[in-house]
Amino acid sequence: MLKCWRQVVLGTMAVVWPAGAQAMAQGAPTDLVPPATSSAVQPQPQPVPVPLPPTLPLPPQVQVWTVDDARSLLRSIELSVTDGLDPADYRPDALAAQIAAGPGDALNEQASTSFRWLAEDMRDGRTPMQQRVQWFVFDPDADLMPAERLMADALARHDVAGVIAGLAPTYFHYVRLRDELAVTPVSDAERRSIIRVNMDRWRWLPRDLGKQFLIVNVPEFQLRLMVNGKVIRSYKTIVGKPGRTATPQLSEKVEGVIFNPTWTVPQSIVVGEGLGRRLLASPAKARAEGYKVARAPDGTISVVQQPGPGNALGLMKLHMPNPHAIFLHDTPNRELFNLDNRALSHGCIRVERASELAITLGILRAGMKPEDGVALTKSGIYTLVPLTRAMPVYITYFTMAPGIDDVMASFPDLYGRDAPVLASLAAPRVSVRQRVTDEAVEAVEDPGV
C-alpha cells in the first residue's frame, strides 16, 4: 500500500502534505491522492447539462411546445420541491390548463415562461441579490447556460427533465442537503426552511467550482482543500467578528504564496492608535518588535512589521488581490484555534497549519518540492512564490452542511444572514433580478491581531 502522507518536522511545527500532490500536478493519476480523513465523502454522480453548440443563436423567447414536452415540464415543476423550490412559483395550474387545451400559442407562451423561471432559479438561485447580504460572488452560469438556449436544446432533444435536472449544483454538500430535505418531515417547517436557505446558497455559486479549489465555510470555521471532488485536507479558521468586520462572501483567485510576509500597518493604527508616534520615540522598541518606521516629507508615518515569529500575519499569506483586501494567512496566536467560537478577526481569515497549506499549494500549482517549501518557511525571508495556475478560493456562508466528520450539522448564523433569505423565499418570486450586488466594498484595514 502506498504511504499517502509524508511529514516533515519544522522546529516545533509539523508540516504535512499529500505525498501524491506533486505527482498530481504533473498529471499522474489523481486516485493516488487520498482524502484527509476516512470520512471524506465521494461526490454522487450528477446530471450534466447537454453541451450546446457555441454558435447557436438565441431563439425567440416563446418556443413551440408539444404537449408531451409540456407534460415533462409540469413534472419537473412538481419535482422542484425536492430542490427546495416552491412549485407554485412556476404556475403549474396555468400550465396544466394549457396542456389540457392542447397545442397552440397559449401553451407555447405559458410553457416558455414556466421553463424560463424554473431554469433561472435552478441555475442562479431564487433569492434576489438584495437579500444576499455581503455576497460579492459573481456567478457566470447565466452567460454559460442562457435560459433561452437551454429551452431550445430541451425541446430539440425532447429532454426537458434532463436539462432542468442538469442545472443543479454538483458539489456533494448540495446533494446531502437535498437528501436531508427529503427525510425531514413537513411538520418540521423550521428545519426545512433552513435546509432550503442553504440549498439556494449553493445555486448562487458557479456550478463548476473547478477540479482543485479552496472553500471556506465562515459559520463552520473551516477551510477545505478540494481535489477532483475529494476533501484532501481541512483546516480550522478564524473569521471576522460580527458587525462591520464581518467576513464578506467572495470568489477570488490565489495567485501566489507568500512565505514570511511583511505587514504594512494601516493608518487607523499608525495614527488612530498612536503606534507610529510611540515607535518613532523609541527606536529600540521598534527594532525589538520587528517594525520599520519612516516619516515622509509631508509628515506621514509608515510602519511595516518585518517577517518573524511575532508578525501579525504569521509565516504565510496567500496572495489573492481583491478590492476587499480579504486574504488567508497564518497567525502567531495559534492557541485561538482551540476556541469554539472563532469569529475574532477584522475580516481576514486566519488558517491553522498555514505553512502546510502554503507548501501544498506550492506543490500543486507551482511545481515546488516539499523540501524547498520547508526551507523557504525556515528562512525568515519574505518570498513570493507565484502559482503557475491560479487556485480558485470560495469564501462561503452555510449554516447547515455536512461537517468535517461527515455528519449533517447546523452552524451559528454569525452575521444574521439567514433571515433575509428566509423572507425572500416566503415572498412572491421576483422575475427581474440583478446579477451583481450594489453593496459597498469596504477594504479590511488590519488582520485583527
Residue 406 domain flag: no
Can you point out the beta strands (E) in 352-419?
383-396, 400-402, 408-410
Residue 248 domain flag: yes
Cβ neighbours, 10 Å, residue 292: 13
Burial 361-370 (b: 16+ CB within 10 A, else e): bbbbbbebeb
- What is the length of the chain? 449
Q: How confident is the model at residue 433 (pLDDT cuts 50, 70, 90)?
A: confident
Position 12 scores a pLDDT of 35
pLDDT at residue 41 above 60?
Answer: no
Phi-psi region of 347 (alpha: psi -120 to 50; beta: other; left: phi over 0): left
3-state secondary structure of 399: coil
**415 or 26, greater pLDDT:** 415
- pLDDT tens digits, one per residue of 241-278: 999 899 999 999 999 999 999 999 888 889 888 999 99
- pLDDT tens digits, one per residue of 205-225: 999 999 999 999 999 999 999
Cα 394 to chain centroid distance, Å, stands at 3
**43 or 1, greater pLDDT:** 43
Position 86 scores a pLDDT of 98
**Is the dihedral angle over the CA atoms 441, 445, 447, 449 positive or is it negative?**
negative
Residues in Cβ contact with 160 at an 8 Å cutoff, skipping those fewer than 6 apart: 69, 72, 73, 76, 115, 154
Determine which of 20-34, 81-95, 144-158, 165-179 has the lowest per-residue pLDDT on average: 20-34
Position 31 scores a pLDDT of 28
Cα 195 to chain centroid distance, Å, stands at 18
Residue 140 domain flag: yes
Determine which of 24-38, 150-164, 353-367 has the lowest per-residue pLDDT on average: 24-38
Specify whether 201 is located in the same domain as 214.
Answer: no
Specify whether 168 is located in the same domain as 222.
Answer: no
**125 or 27, greater pLDDT:** 125
**274 or 76, greater pLDDT:** 76
Cα 8 to chain centroid distance, Å, stands at 30
Query: Helices (H) and strands (E) in the chain — how many of each?
Result: 15, 16
Specify whether 352 is located in the same domain as 371.
Answer: yes
Phi-psi region of 308 (alpha: psi -120 to 50; beta: other; left: phi over 0): left
Treating both helix axes as pointing N-terminal to C-terminal, what angle do 418-426 and 189-204 enclose, rounded to 10 degrees? 100
CA-nearest of 22, 5, 31, 30 to 361 is 22
User: Residue 266 in contact with residue 391, Cβ under 8 Å?
Assistant: no
Specify whether 133 is located in the same domain as 273.
Answer: no
Position 447 scores a pLDDT of 54
pLDDT at residue 61 above 80?
Answer: no
Residue 422 domain flag: yes
Specify whether 199 is located in the same domain as 239.
Answer: no
CA atoms of 291 and 307, how far apart (whole Å): 9
pLDDT at residue 56 above 80?
Answer: no
Mean pLDDT, to the nearest integer, of 145-172?
96
Specify whether 228 is located in the same domain as 355.
Answer: yes
Task: Give the number of domains in the chain.
Answer: 2
Mean pLDDT, to the nearest integer, of 137-149?
95
| The one-letter amino acid at 251 | S
CA atoms of 127 and 200, how far apart (whole Å): 7
Q: What is the average pLDDT score of the chain?
A: 87
Residue 52 domain flag: no
User: Residue 100 in contact with residue 84, Cβ under 8 Å?
Assistant: no
Position 445 scores a pLDDT of 56
Q: How confident is the model at residue 438 (pLDDT cuts 50, 70, 90)?
A: confident
Specify whether 324 is located in the same domain as 373.
Answer: yes
Residue 53 domain flag: no
**134 or 21, greater pLDDT:** 134
Mean pLDDT, to the nearest integer, of 100-107?
97
Specify whether 166 is located in the same domain as 215.
Answer: no
Mean pLDDT, to the nearest integer, of 128-141?
95
Which residue range is the domain that position 121 belongs to?
67-206+412-426
pLDDT at residue 27 above 80?
Answer: no
